[in-house]
Amino acid sequence: MKIMKFGGTSVGKPERMHQVKDLITRDNQRKIVVLSALSGTTNALVGIGDALAEGKKDLAKERIDALHAHYLDFYKELLQSDAGRSKAEKIIKEHFEFLNIILKISFNEAINRDILAQGELLSTKLFYTLLEEKDVPAVFLPALEYMSIDENGEPELGKISDRLKTILKNYEKETVFVTQGYICKNHRHEVDNLKRGGSDYTASLIGAAIKASVIEIWTDIDGMHNNDPRVVDRTRPIAEMSFDEAAELAYFGAKILHPASIWPAQTYNVPVRLLNTMQPEAAGTTITAEETGVGVKAIAAKDGIIAVKIKSSRMLLAYGFLRKVFEIFEKYKTPIDMITTSEVAVSVTIDDDTHLKEITAELDKFGSTELDYNQSIICVAGNMIAENTGMIRDVVVALGDFPVRMVSYGGSKNNVSILVDTKYKNEALQRLNDELFQW
């Protein structure tokens, strides 16, 4: 069994959905097809939720109507038969009636998550209707029946696996299964989600749960590039990467993969392939346990970082100081990304500022705390970087007189992280690209 996940742009236009149908019917292998919402839909749903949260019902209604109009155009181009079209009309009517009912009731976070789920529900139902119209036999596999997260928002892989296997036992001969990415149930049995970009995570979790032969992530680019193609000129796809390298890049901002989407595949050693729906013959990127090549493979950047510096004269020669600092972050469930230390101060970075006030209040007991907002972590990732002594020189040369706030090197053999003010990020990425890769 293989997993084929198609992102928003891959299903965002009727002709693309047709292409997806062609791609999944190229062979007779059993496959679970995971779909995102049509591109733009989840953003639109976020906009509807935001308007409702602010009590702006008219604005929410305007946004619902605009999205509704988009789907009414979409299905007419997607489907040709009367049966297919009337089924699609019913699907769209049902989901937009739901959104319109929400306008009339009092809004809360659980309702917001229900709103966000509409995108993947719509895309999978419309795609399934297309398969029916084209006489492609397929099974509709509702994600809300098997995908779940616990009270900490972590996927329950064991339960997901048990439920999926039980469902799949009923369909031993069927080859195509269609399911939603992103959405799940939480520990209160409410509709929830795996965070933005979460369909990749769904694909990896399913791949791990059923020990698939491969997890294919089909998107709008020919694989993981060596740098962010949205901001850097001259980037190129990377043919092979290890799970560790890919995880590092995904976590540090390579948008092509959801940050958590590598660990399930890595845990069960399922290869991940990144492929281009618009250019299916391109080799893309293959991610496996194997470590290939030595040196820098790629650079990624993560914005929205806050640097927290804790200065304390008591730190000098004191053991247990770092533990006390970490315990405060742990208490507020705030993960730390980077850390650098000196004898009198320690700097850490976080991207979640939900409890920043409480954290700094507690840190102030140790000494003084300074905060730098609007920072970006630039992650230079590859294999055996620490052994490649010339690399750090190249990084320093590339950055030249650039103001660098923190550097983290030697934590793993897979990466060097550099913290800069976000206003310098694009130029830093370009400079590193020009210095670290030969063209």
Catalog residues that contact Mg ion under the rule CB under 5 A.
Answer: 7, 197
| Residue recorded with tokens 């959801």 | 258
Q: Which is nearer to Mg ion, 155 or 197 (CB)?
A: 197
CA distances from 226 to 57, 254, 359, 432 (A): 44, 10, 36, 11
Residue 360 labelled as part of a binding site: no
Subset of residues 362 to 391 that bind ligand ASP, contact rule: CB under 6 A: none
Read off the tokens for 66: 């605009």
Question: Which stretch, 193-201, 272-280, 375-383, 412-420, contacts ligand ASP (CB under 6 A)?
Answer: 193-201
Q: Rounded to 5 degrees, what are φ and ψ at 116?
A: -60, -25
For 80, the 3-state DSSP assignment is: coil
Shortest spacing between CB 98 and ligand ASP, in angstroms: 17
7 part of the interface to ligand ASP, by CB under 6 A? yes
9 part of the interface to ligand ADP, by CB under 6 A? yes
Residues 232, 429: contact at Cβ < 8 Å?
yes
**Among ligand ASP, ligand ADP, Mg ion, none, residue 254 binds (CB under 5-8 Å by kind):** ligand ADP
Q: Rounded to 5 degrees, what are φ and ψ at 400?
A: 50, -125
Read off the tokens for 169: 């036992």
CA distances from 237 to 127, 162, 226, 416, 426 (A): 29, 36, 6, 20, 19
204 part of the interface to ligand ADP, by CB under 6 A? no
CA distances from 363 to 356, 357, 405 (A): 10, 10, 20
For 146, the 3-state DSSP assignment is: coil
Cα 46 to chain centroid, rounded: 16
Q: Applying CB under 6 A, which of residues 2, 225, 273, 297 lies at the interface with ligand ADP?
A: 225
Residue 369 CB contacts under 8 Å (≥ 6 apart), including other chains: 308, 309, 310, 311, 360, 363
Q: Applying CB under 6 A, which of residues 114, 120, 228, 244 lies at the interface with ligand ADP?
A: 228
Q: Which is nearer to ligand ASP, 7 or 84 (CB)?
A: 7
The closest of 224, 176, 201 to 22, measured between CA atoms, is: 176
Residue 417 CB contacts under 8 Å (≥ 6 apart), including other chains: 252, 337, 338, 377, 378, 379, 380, 406, 407, 408, 409, 411
Q: What residue type is assigned to position 100 of the chain?
A: N
Half-sphere exposure of 116 (CA within 13 A, CB side): 25
Q: Which is nearer to ligand ADP, 48 or 300 (CB)?
A: 300
Q: Which is nearer to Mg ion, 119 or 197 (CB)?
A: 197
271 part of the interface to ligand ADP, by CB under 6 A? no
Subset of residues 237 to 256 that bind ligand ADP, contact rule: CB under 6 A: 254-256
Q: Which is nearer to Mg ion, 204 or 349 (CB)?
A: 204
Using CB under 6 A as the binding criterion, the count of chain residues that bind ligand ADP stands at 18
Q: Which is nearer to ligand ASP, 200 or 245 (CB)?
A: 200
For 286, the 3-state DSSP assignment is: strand
**Among ligand ADP, Mg ion, ligand ASP, none, residue 119 binds (CB under 5-8 Å by kind):** ligand ASP
8 part of the interface to ligand ASP, by CB under 6 A? yes
Residue 411 labelled as part of a binding site: no
Residue nearest to ligand ADP as judged by C-beta position: 7
How are beta strands 191-193 and 285-288 bridged, if at all? unpaired
What is d(CA 402, CA 388) in angstroms, rounded to the nearest whole number? 23
Question: Which stretch, 1-9, 73-81, 382-390, 403-411, contacts ligand ADP (CB under 6 A)?
Answer: 1-9
**Among Mg ion, ligand ADP, ligand ASP, none, residue 99 binds (CB under 5-8 Å by kind):** none
Q: Applying CB under 6 A, which of residues 84, 198, 223, 264 lies at the interface with ligand ASP?
A: 198
Shortest spacing between CB 5 and ligand ADP, in angstroms: 8
199 part of the interface to ligand ASP, by CB under 6 A? yes
Residue 198 CB contacts under 8 Å (≥ 6 apart), including other chains: 181, 182, 258
Which residues belong to the annotated binding site for substrate? 42, 120
Which residues belong to the annotated binding site? 5-8, 42, 120, 219-220, 230
Q: Which residues bind ligand ADP (CB under 6 A)?
A: 7-10, 36, 197, 219-221, 224-225, 228-230, 254-256, 300
Which residues belong to the annotated binding site for ATP? 5-8, 219-220, 230
Q: Which residues bind ligand ASP (CB under 6 A)?
A: 7-8, 36-37, 42, 119, 181-182, 196-199
